Amino acid sequence: MTPVLDVRDVGKVYGSGDATVHALRGVSLTVERGDYLAIMGASGSGKSTLMNILGCLDIPSTGSYHVDGTDVGALGDRQLAVLRNRKIGFVFQSFNLIPRMTALANVELPLAYGGVGASARRARALAALDQVGLSDRTHHDPNELSGGQQQRVAVARALVTAPSLLLADEPTGNLDTKSTTDVLRILDRLSDAGRTIVLITHEDDVAGHAKRIIRLIDGRIVEDHRQAPVDGPPPRLASVTP
Ligand code: ADP
Ligand code: MG
């Protein structure tokens, strides 16, 4: 099956001459449908650069990147924008909701850009808000919601288009412990339901929710491993029964 993400030997260079920065140096990575990946690494290791490439916000300097089989490097700006709208749901550390627009209107927005009609838009946005437990807040503006609630609206907005990839950059970075738990539970549930998720974080606790962790140092992947689920099935007691 075609992987959702196929990154091959990607390099990213910023600047030129003495100011040249090699932000990514030969990164290769495939992500299959339904995987839940955490990208970790120190500041400056290339996480944001990789996230921008995975999210089709930027293109590699060298190597190739395919989303659902589409070669991103072959697309122009307009086509990239369409691909982003159709295939990728973004969640940012700072929520990035539009002020003075209700939660419902914020969630409808990517569907409006995608040309979905008004009544389908509304129904899908309400269903997405229900998935994040905010059916009772649909007509609140962002400034009437807590940080955790705003981030859940942002998750609903990212989900509403049924994207191939949910891409979250430090989604709990601005949240208190309780809201962090709420948002991570929602991501866990989405993962259980088969969504493909890539999460950038520098917190071990947050990365612990993912199925797979990759670690970047100086623009290179130095580690790529799978981990057992946090809330996996309880250990079977049968083996200790006398
Ligand atoms: P991280 O998100 O892990 O902190 P970044 O991807 O932001 O790392 O940065 C990786 C390297 O690329 C750093 O050395 C950073 O200074 C450099 N860099 C990032 N963006 C740019 C840019 N637009 N122009 C020049 N250098 C950049
Ligand atoms: Mg960064």
Q: How far apart are the first and last CA of the chain?
A: 45
Tokens 């916000």, located at residue: 57
CA 87 – CA 75 distance, rounded (Å): 14
What does the pLDDT read at residue 231?
Answer: 57
CA 62 – CA 188 distance, rounded (Å): 34
Q: Which residues of the chain are modeled with pLDDT < 70?
A: 229-242
Cβ burial 154-186 (10 Å sphere, 16+ → b, else e): bbbbbbbbebbbbbbbbbbbbbeeebbebbbeb
Strand partners of residue 217: 220
CA 60 – CA 29 distance, rounded (Å): 14
What does the pLDDT read at residue 234?
Answer: 45
What is the model's pTM?
0.91
Query: For residue 235, what are the contacts with CB-CB under 8 A and spacing of at least 6?
Result: none
What does the pLDDT read at residue 228?
Answer: 80
Strand partners of residue 12: 24
Nearest atom within ligand 1 for CA of residue 19:
25
Q: Using the mean position of ligand 1's atoms as its centre, give its distance from the Cα of residue 13 in Å.
A: 9
What does the pLDDT read at residue 232?
Answer: 53
- Pocket lined around ligand 1, Cβ cut-off 6 Å: 14-15, 21, 23, 41, 43-49
What does the pLDDT read at residue 172?
Answer: 95
CA 134 – CA 151 distance, rounded (Å): 11
Nearest atom within ligand 1 for CA of residue 15:
25
CB neighbours (10 Å) of residue 64?
Answer: 16
What does the pLDDT read at residue 131?
Answer: 95
What does the pLDDT read at residue 240?
Answer: 42
Count helices and strands (H / E) in the chain.
7, 10
The sign of the dihedral angle between the CA atoms of 59, 62, 67, 69 is positive
In sequence order, what DSSP letters do the residues of 97-147 get, joined into one string?
Answer: PPTTS-HHHHHHHHHHHTT--HHHHHHHHHHHHHHTT-GGGTT--GGGS-H
Ligand in closest contact with the CA of 54: 1
Tokens 């309400």, located at residue: 126
Pocket test for ligand 1, best of 12, 13, 21 (most atoms within 8 A of CB): 21
What confidence tens digit (pLDDT) does each residue in 89-146 have? 999 999 999 999 999 999 999 999 989 999 999 999 999 999 999 999 999 999 999 9
What does the pLDDT read at residue 1?
Answer: 82
